[in-house]
Structure 1
Amino acid sequence: MRAHISKILEQYLQMNGSPQHHSKRLMAIDVFRGLTITAMILVNNPGSWSYQYWPLAHAHWHGWTPTDLIFPFFLFIVGWSLYASKLASANGAIDSKGVLFGALKRTFILFSLGLFLAVFYININDANFSWFNDRLLSIRIMGVLQRIALVYFVVIFIVMYCRFWTQVFIAIALTIAYLIALYFVPYADAAGVLYQGELARGFTFIDYLDSKILTPTHMYLGNLQPFASDPEGIFSTLPAIVTCLSGVWVAMWMKRTHLTTLFCAKLCGLGILLVVGATYFSSLIPINKPMWTPTYVMLSSGFACMVLSVLVYLIEIKKHHKSFAPFIVFGINSIAFFMFAGVVGRLLLMIPVGDSHLKGWFYSNFLDAYLDNYLASFIYSLCFLLISYLAMLFLYRHKIIWKV
């Protein structure tokens, strides 16, 4: 095991150089990304969606669980990375055309990969299933990768052409516009019934606008009434931009300071203030992931600051590299990991075994038959994670890094 970890670190240092706070790549960020995507794969691949331990399931609507922090952590890391790798060159010179062209290309690829996952499925147990009608013509337009793509492009454009305080002004303006629309803009359903300030799923202004733009056929919860709903819809992407900007601002801060214990304490303190503020204001504006409310932005960005401060302290200051080495394998190849998990997870549902599929056969015969329902579901997630790790380790060892 020690030899395995040492080899991971040796290869990482060969690819990226010795981790320093002025380098374009921080090991702490790769580990943070690796921890985040590990959590995402773990919660997205249970043995049964009916049996998930509380921390591994999303909050039903208002409120939050640890699982609800995963997606905003990704956007926070995207913001940090795009500033550190694209916009914080040593001499301050930026090839704006090159950066924007690269951003447009990356946006297109990420969005396309999201659409691919949306159509990559065949229901083998339904004789009436039509891939063309049920999947392609009813494709869900938005999703995790699609939102990341849109947020990434908007944020890199903002950071390219706006100074810090202008960025803050834009973030405040987006938040105010979001709140005004959510609470004060009237809207009507197909029957002409007027609504304003509704916060129940399927009744919000977010659902109304997304239904108009995307149409219910192409939304995650297309059958809801009076409006369809999508947790990664168009309008709730506005506050998600602010989440990504928070990562940019932390990267700016880190670029202008030394990574000391005092810095980590300040970053952690900022995170605590944001979490406390989000909790305090949640009685006025609920913490809600599908709506991506401003309090949710504060809460998730606060926890992101706290986690990053701990990782920077342990990895960059105290040099506990070996303890976190396995997460480098995931963090340095996160897009490949996400796509691998998405494709394999679907294939396990598409390969027929008897009257079921490969996932159902394995889960029911080797786990659920012998273990508690919740434990069996969790063990399946761990098995899936182990297979994913071995696949990503193979890519890592062969220096195959999928950069979008």
Structure 2
Amino acid sequence: MTTPQPQRLLCVDALRGFDMFWILGGELLFAALFTWTGAGIWHSLAGQMAHSDWHGLTAYDGIFPLFIFLSGVTLGLADKRASALGGGARRALYRSALRRLLLLLLLGVLYNHGWGTGLPGHWDEVRYASVLGRIGLAWFVAAMLVWHCRPKVWQGVALAILLGYWALLAGHLDNPAATPNAWVDGHWLPGIHYRQMPADPEGLLSTLPAVVNALLGVVAGGLLRSPRQPWSKAVLLAALGLGLLALGYLWSLVFPLNKTLWTSSFVLVTSGWSALLLALFYVLIDLLRLRWLGLAFAVIGANAIAIYLASSLVDWPYVAASLFGQWLAALGPSAQPLGAALALLAVQWLVLAWLYKRQIFIKV
């Protein structure tokens, strides 16, 4: 007996698109609005569009964890079990997962050395750690656990990772060069690090707790897939998010929030916000039926990795200026940054809308 495939939820693609929106140029809007209006609220929001230097959390710090969380949501919605498959189907599943992992690792290296730089001529000058690589590794490990273990087992593994990581890093948080992450990356991560930092933000050791972001996404996906009433699912998702936030912020009193190290408290807090956002999008799009909102962001989310990679390989600001340059020049000096940001977003969105309308989805 085969398990029926769940209906695809528009809210998941929409939230993935909302996440990517800020990477594609949305982060420029607040600073541009401040330049245009001078209102302090935009200046405060613009400050949230940059990563924390070390300890702390900004809204921009949550973009990457949300993407990993959503990769886990798709696992929870699919609810695959390798033990339920025949030998041939199981081998095909493994090949597909391994191919996805290797492709994301390769594309991550390509992204790191996109237009304007190019791949170095020497292997030891390549940056191998990447955002796409971490997404691939976190998803792959989470998939192997979910496909082969009962929920109590992989949930226990997630808890062990968080507690073990805390024990490993305790007392080594003040000096970036003295962290276990710096030692592991210095000895075992080939090539160069991001901005020559002692510990690469997408390094080896800090990828381990990122697996838990994906596993918590599996929990959320399981809630959405459950036979409960739709509004009950929304309430449970919100409760999951609030519970994770409470635990994470309490834990941060002794194990600070830190994106570079991807601390255990950072995992819980970012997963909490991710669950709350998923609950919000589920209510607005799939329950209240605001389909226009869902489609506006789903256009981006349906080809999220493709447009992320293109942001490294295509000079989108040049394209936007080529199309809208005369109109932008006609704006006043204070309005030009806002016009440039909107033009940048419009060009990318129109390309993605063209792909979406023709049902062209570039999947990895």
TM over 0.5: yes
CA deviation map 1:122-166 (0-9, x unaligned): 45xxxxxx9644x86411110100111111211111111111000
What is the 5 A alignment of 1:148-297? 148-183=135-170, 197-215=172-190, 217-222=191-196, 224=197, 228-297=198-267
Confirm whether residue 398 of structure 1 aligns to residue 358 of structure 2.
yes
What is the 5 A alignment of 1:39-54? 39-42=22-25, 53-54=46-47
Give the Å deviation of 1:333.
Answer: 1.2
What is the 5 A alignment of 1:5-404? 23-42=6-25, 53-85=46-78, 87=80, 93=85, 95-122=89-116, 132-133=120-121, 137-183=124-170, 197-215=172-190, 217-222=191-196, 224=197, 228-345=198-315, 366=329, 370-371=333-334, 376=337, 379-404=339-364
Task: Give the whole-Å Cα distance in 2 for the aligned partners of 1:199 and 1:367.
Answer: 50
Q: Which consecutive residues of structure 1, in runs of 5 or more, have no partner in the other structure?
A: 1-20, 124-129, 184-195, 352-357
Q: Helix, strand or coil for the counterpart of 1:102? A: helix
Give the Å deviation of 1:260.
Answer: 2.0
CA contact (8 A) 2:72 2:215 kept: yes
In the alignment, residue 256 of structure 1 is paired with which amino acid? S
CA contact (8 A) 1:58 1:65 kept: yes
**Closer, same or farther in 2 for the Cα pair 1:382/1:348, shift >3 Å?**
closer
CA deviation map 1:166-200 (0-9, x unaligned): 001111221222122212xxxxxxxxxxxx52433
Task: Give the whole-Å Cα distance in 2 for the aligned partners of 1:205 and 1:71.
Answer: 22
Once structures 1 and 2 are overlaid, which stretch shifts more, 329-338 or 112-121?
112-121
Give the Å deviation of 1:300.
Answer: 0.8
Q: Helix, strand or coil for the counterpart of 1:251? A: helix
Total equivalences in the alignment: 344
Report which of the two has the higher share of helix. Answer: 2
In the alignment, residue 38 of structure 1 is paired with which amino acid? F
Q: TM-score with structure 2 length normalisation?
A: 0.84
Give the Å deviation of 1:61.
Answer: 1.4
CA deviation map 1:192-228 (0-9, x unaligned): xxxx52433333111121111125x511132x5xxx2
Q: Helix, strand or coil for the counterpart of 1:159? A: helix
Runs of 4 or more off by more than 3 Å in structure 1? 43-48, 92-95, 130-133, 365-369, 378-382
Task: Give the whole-Å Cα distance in 2 for the aligned partners of 1:23 and 1:267.
Answer: 18
**Closer, same or farther in 2 for the Cα pair 1:69/1:28, shift >3 Å?**
same
Percent sequence identity over aligned pairs: 26
**Closer, same or farther in 2 for the Cα pair 1:47/1:201, shift >3 Å?**
farther
In the alignment, residue 312 of structure 2 is paired with which amino acid? G
- When Rg is computed on C-alpha atoms for both structures, the one with the higher figure is 1
**Closer, same or farther in 2 for the Cα pair 1:24/1:137, shift >3 Å?**
farther
Q: Helix, strand or coil for the counterpart of 1:177? A: helix
CA deviation map 1:258-285 (0-9, x unaligned): 3422321221122112112222221101
Q: TM-score with structure 1 length normalisation?
A: 0.76
CA contact (8 A) 2:77 2:224 kept: no
Task: Give the whole-Å Cα distance in 1 for the aligned partners of 2:283 and 2:108.
Answer: 35
Q: Helix, strand or coil for the counterpart of 1:175? A: helix
Q: Helix, strand or coil for the counterpart of 1:218? A: coil
**Closer, same or farther in 2 for the Cα pair 1:212/1:66, shift >3 Å?**
same
Give the Å deviation of 1:86.
Answer: 6.5
**Closer, same or farther in 2 for the Cα pair 1:241/1:131, shift >3 Å?**
closer
Task: Give the whole-Å Cα distance in 1 for the aligned partners of 2:79 and 2:233.
Answer: 23
Q: Which consecutive residues of structure 2, in runs of 5 or more, have no partner in the other structure?
A: 36-42
CA contact (8 A) 1:43 1:57 kept: no
Task: Give the whole-Å Cα distance in 2 for the aligned partners of 1:43 and 1:315.
Answer: 21
**Closer, same or farther in 2 for the Cα pair 1:131/1:303, shift >3 Å?**
closer
CA deviation map 1:230-281 (0-9, x unaligned): 1111100010000000011111222223342232122112211211222222
In the alignment, residue 57 of structure 1 is paired with which amino acid? A
CA contact (8 A) 2:17 2:302 kept: yes
Task: Give the whole-Å Cα distance in 2 for the aligned partners of 1:257 and 1:292.
Answer: 34
**Closer, same or farther in 2 for the Cα pair 1:234/1:43, shift >3 Å?**
farther
Give the Å deviation of 1:341.
Answer: 1.8
Task: Give the whole-Å Cα distance in 1 for the aligned partners of 2:154 and 2:189.
Answer: 28
Q: Helix, strand or coil for the counterpart of 2:195? A: coil
